[in-house]
Amino acid sequence: MSNSFSLEGRKALVTGSNTGLGQAIAVGLAAAGAEVLCAARRAPDETLDLITKAGGKAGGLSLDFADPMAARDIFQDQGIDILVNNAGIIRRADAVDFTEDDWDAVMDVNLKALFFTTQAFAKELLAKGRLGKVVNIASLLSFQGGIRVPSYTAAKHGVAGLTKLLANEWAAKGINVNAVAPGYIETNNTEALRADAGRNKAILERIPANRWGRPEDVAGAAVFLSSAAADYVHGAILNVDGGWLAR
């Protein structure tokens, strides 16, 4: 019986893959057999080193999603059949103090760039009659409101909605669109929360698993949704949150 979780012969693009979740996902996809194109604003040298030292295949690509159209021309004739939309930023301030610049910066990277990158990916697949997988990185804040992150919350609600809309449009055309919703994971984006003793304690008390997640906890979910094992999974948002939403 063939291994339906294998990604041998597949080629993936992972955005924001120089650190954190993106790095772990890129390493996980490579370990499952995919050739991984690591896209990031800064050179993903560490990620490439981790993959190649483990015997995997990877390449780097400079993309800054502050320009939401940054990826519009990168898919043509590249053979990419897995797209992981991980690139994202966060800005924190009370809602009454939140600036238009902070709003636009987050929405451009986290939502607008995600949509137009996915659009470009799908156009290439549909034009060539090829199958593909899209894995969006959503969030617990796709379901909850959070505190002091209005644009991030709005964007991640949007990611959940777009995941379902695109699944509805493309499921019958051979493109699976799903999302992973990480919980509280040890990344740069959560450094401020972990450094706040009160918030850190409150968060841990709410997580049934009684620990912060690690980036590699998310990688397995991304590998699954990228694989043939998930061929009949469309429009799903898979929570990887230590049980937070079940609490």
Active site residues: 152
Tell me the residue type at 160: A
Question: Longest C-alpha distance within the chain, in Å?
Answer: 58
CA–CA separation, 149 and 172 (whole Å): 36
What are the structure tokens assigned to 147, written together?
């505190």
CA–CA separation, 41 and 56 (whole Å): 22
Dihedral sign from CA coordinates of 242, 115, 19, 104: negative
3-class SS string, the chain: CCCCCCCCCCEEEEECCCCHHHHHHHHHHHHCCCEEEEEECCCCHHHHHHHHHCCCEEEEEECCCCCCCCCCCCCCCCCCCEEEECCCCCCCCCHHHCCHHHHHHHHHHHHHHHHHHHHHHHHHHHHHCCCEEEEEECCHHHCCCCCCCHHHHHHHHHHHHHHHHHHHHHHHHCEEEEEEEECCECCHHHHHHHHCHHHHHHHHHHCCCCCCECHHHHHHHHHHHHCHHHCCCCCCEEEECCCHHHC
